[in-house]
Structure 1
């Protein structure tokens, strides 16, 4: 008989990449987490971890077991739904997470609408970057997240999560108000190929979008300045230190002497809704997703 608590420790090791990180997330000591996995391996009569350098990696048997473990987790969540018979009006806590722009333009308005329509529903919003949102979902600390699609996200086929497209956020070319391109209705990025550029820092997911958009226009941008915050980027543009691609949903300091110009090739970033597998069937989550689908078309208008 498989101990589901030990199985969850193995799932955590696979999710976080190391026994130490998994133990920290589960509030175990590393030795206690290792003991749980060793006992699970003895129960099953197979090796689950093997040495790799100074760390460990999952064995093929562990990988196979995790396929079933993720399915078991999804079925367990469905069983909880069935037992609770949550088929009435949404009620109780709904924990949602997202990064700042998702909160300001989507999650905050969603919370207001939900609490007006369902007085017994308590929406709890938590700011979190994309990797942390996946961790919160995995740990059961969040029910719904808005994440940006990035190459480092779990694949859409990942059995632990249900990721669905919500909206595409276009990037505009942002130039000083007196720039020659400022009066254009639309611009091809190739026309800014010889400009100095302000780009996100290398670790930002949007850095890839900016470099890729310029590459599709046939050039590699001369990145002179780098910034984390979009308002810092906008300030640098306002001081005529370069041009930049900035997402339309980014809320910039008003009255700056800058102009947004839409791009012909439609560079964009994609927002996804994400739940644990099967979690979207909860009435509270269903109601939240319905509100997000209503808000999304007007968010980038």
Structure 2
């Protein structure tokens, strides 16, 4: 009979495309992955992996078995959810991924409430960008992920995932105190056509949103500086190096040399949580979603 953990290893190899990626996803060593695959090959009596340059690829037999493994593991997920639902207790391990401001603004209160209400639940949190964390939920490396999109640019959600809206997060424009618009009660994004911008990393969803939005207003943005953390962006603003969009969720203290200006345009992030639809009945998932909603409502 085929061993479930070895099928899980094969599934991880198929999803990640490399031994090292599978090892990271399974939180084991590359040696452990290789050993499991060697045992699985002995079980089925034929090669499942072939060398491909410095890496490996699945053989035809390996791909065939990996397709079966994905369906088997999905059914195991459903079985686990049904058993937990029948038991009615939120127990076991729950792995949550979150983007930085969601991690800071929502997860401390959520994890504290879950730990108090469900002492049998082991909680693990990981900071990741939304696209990465949603992919990790699809792969089964995470159970839940906090994600965002914007009022005028939606992020595609894989069909395997269920989602729940948590809150709409308003954003402001951060400018130095000496900026010509610093004393305004409200501004429009189009008024910053001549300004230099501080943005997120190129390729990130929020960076793409900023460029897309400004171009939609007829402004070709001059993005001079790139910084991952909002606190770093605000430090650059205080130094007079540009302006930036700053969400309110998880913002923290604002440097004294920065002014925050509300935007008359509808500049909002939609914050939501996603999980695998086949795990929908797990009490731990439902408990986490409820706790996130309560913390988000308070925010």
Where does residue 158 of structure 2 map in the other structure?
Answer: 156
Cα 1:86–1:155 shift into 2, 3 Å: same
More off after superposition, 280-289 vs 119-128: 119-128
1:124 — aligned with what? 123
Q: Distance in 2 between matches of 1:5 and 1:188?
A: 55
Instruction: Indicate the RMSD between aligned Cα atoms, in angstroms.
Output: 3.8
Aligned to 1:224: 224
**Preserved CA contact (<8 Å) 2:84 2:90:** no
Q: Whole-Å Cα distance in 2 between the matches of residues 114 and 197 of structure 1?
A: 39
Moved more, 251-260 or 28-37: 28-37
Question: 2:180 is matched with which residue?
Answer: 180
Task: Find the aligned partners of 2:44 and 2:172 in 1 and give their Cα distance.
Answer: 53
**Cα distance in 2 for residues equivalent to 1:52 and 1:223:** 40
Shift of 1:289: 0.5
Specify the alignment match of 1:262 in structure 2. Answer: 262
User: Given the alignment of the two structures, is residue 27 of structure 1 paired with residue 26 of structure 2, yes or no?
Assistant: no
Moved more, 264-273 or 228-237: 264-273
More moved, 21-30 vs 55-64: 55-64
Structure 1 unaligned spans of 5+ = none
Helix, strand or coil at the partner of 2:197: strand
The 2-side partners of 1:256 and 1:279 are apart by 46
- 3-state SS, counterpart of residue 75 of structure 1: helix
CA contact (8 A) 1:199 1:227 kept: yes
Deviations 1:118-172 (A, max 9, x none): 25444524232133675488455x5333244699x99512x4x545443443432
Question: How far is the alpha carbon of 1:55 from its aligned partner?
Answer: 4.5
Bigger mean CA deviation after superposition, 131-140 or 96-105:
131-140
- Which digits, 9 at most, give the CA deviation of each residue in 1:47-77, with x for residues without a partner? 9667766545567886676555434323212
SS in 1 for 2:74: helix
Structure 1 counterpart SS, 2:106: helix
Name the residue aligned to 2:80: 80
- Give the equivalent residue in structure 1 for 2:286: 286
Q: Secondary structure at the match of 2:180?
A: coil
Counterparts of 1:55 and 1:174 in 2: how far apart (Å)? 47
Alpha-carbon distance change, 121 to 108 in structure 1, aligned in 2, over 3 angstroms = farther
* Partner Cα separation in structure 2 for residue 62 and residue 215 of structure 1: 47
Any gaps of 5 or more consecutive residues in structure 2? Answer: none
1:228-282, Cα deviation, whole Å (9 max, x unpaired): 2211211221222211112222424335232222334434444342334432322
| Aligned CA distance change for structure 1 residues 263 and 84 (closer, same or farther; 3 Å) | closer
- Equivalent residue for 1:253? 253
Distance 1:34 1:88 in 2: 36
Which has the larger displacement, 167-176 or 188-197?
A: 167-176
Contact 2:137 2:144 in 1 (8 A): no
Give SS of 1:198's match: strand
Aligned mates of 2:69, 2:269 — CA distance in 1: 32
Contact 1:48 1:59 in 2 (8 A): yes
- CA distance in structure 2 between the partners assigned to 1:40 and 1:184 by the alignment: 72
The residue matched to 2:280 in structure 1 has which SS?
Answer: helix
